[in-house]
Structure 1
Amino acid sequence: MNTETLIDTWRRLLADPHKSWVLYEHGTCVVLTAPEGDLAEQATSVLAEFGPVHAGSPAGDFGVVDVQDAEGWVVTGHHDDVLTYVGPEESEDPGQLAVGLLGRSKRHRDGTELRVVHVEDRRTVADPA
């Protein structure tokens, strides 16, 4: 999946105009609920800790969410603000186990490679009065 498609998908999924987020190469997104300073640096610190999978620990856990605003799934992990998108064309098996394992492996790659592809800085979005 190309970067522009991932950015568009996450923009639809994270429609809250006050949530800044950082996207990584394999589709993992870190939502920054209290953004400050360099967003990529802040998100990378979170993903470096909560992205890599460690068997037999909470880092191996995942959940699968069928999303309403895009085709595909969001795979959750042991940090509420670390989410990974899996597109329908990425998994031959649409079952939750197959999708979850794929999303978890994508999160692991992003959590170890840490290659930022997009920063969505919404700190400057004006609050409509």
Structure 2
Amino acid sequence: MTNSEMIEHVKLAINPKFQDWVLFKNGTYIIFDHADTIKDIHAEAIKQMKEFGPVLAGGPAGDFNTITLKHTEGWIVAGHGYGMYTYVNPIEIENNTPNDLEIGLFGRSKRDLDGKQPQIIYTNRNNK
């Protein structure tokens, strides 16, 4: 999946009322409620990703919730860190009928990659 394809899926996955978000290379994104109060949204996103992204055994980042998307194909894996989610596309999973545990573990591994090597590929801002 290309970056532009992932960006389009994530745009469809996020509730339109949330206009300020940052997407990382492996599909993890962070929604900001009050982006207008943040001096540098990229620096803040990297800081949060480094803090909440890496998955440590027995740590809170290991917990997750899998959400099936309605407006695009795939799932969102939610977990530790307010406003932080990871997009998982069906083509990324080998099993054609994955269960929530498989999807969640895969999404968590993508989030771990983003946490250890955060690379922003897209920023969406509300232009008030």
In structure 2, distance between residues paired with 1:48 and 1:111: 5
Corresponding residue number in structure 2 for 1:71: 73
Structure 2 CA distance for aligned equivalents of residues 18 and 60 of structure 1: 25
Unaligned runs of 5+ in 2: none
Contact 1:21/1:29 (<8 A) preserved: yes
Show the counterpart of 2:84. 82
Alpha-carbon shift at residue 17 of structure 1 (Å): 4.6
User: What residue number does 1:112 align with?
Assistant: 116
Quick one: which amino acid aligns to residue 46 of structure 1? Q
Contact 1:32 1:81 in 2 (8 A): yes
The residue type equivalent to 1:45 in the other structure is: K
The answer for the alignment partner of 1:54 in structure 2 is 56
Q: Count residues in correspondence.
A: 124
- The corresponding residue for 1:29 is 29
- The CA RMSD measured in Å over matched residues stands at 1.2
| Cα pair 1:62 1:76 within 8 Å, conserved | yes
C-alpha contact 1:39 1:121 (8 A) present in aligned 2:
no
Query: Percent identity between the aligned chains?
Result: 35
Are 2:11 and 1:11 aligned? yes
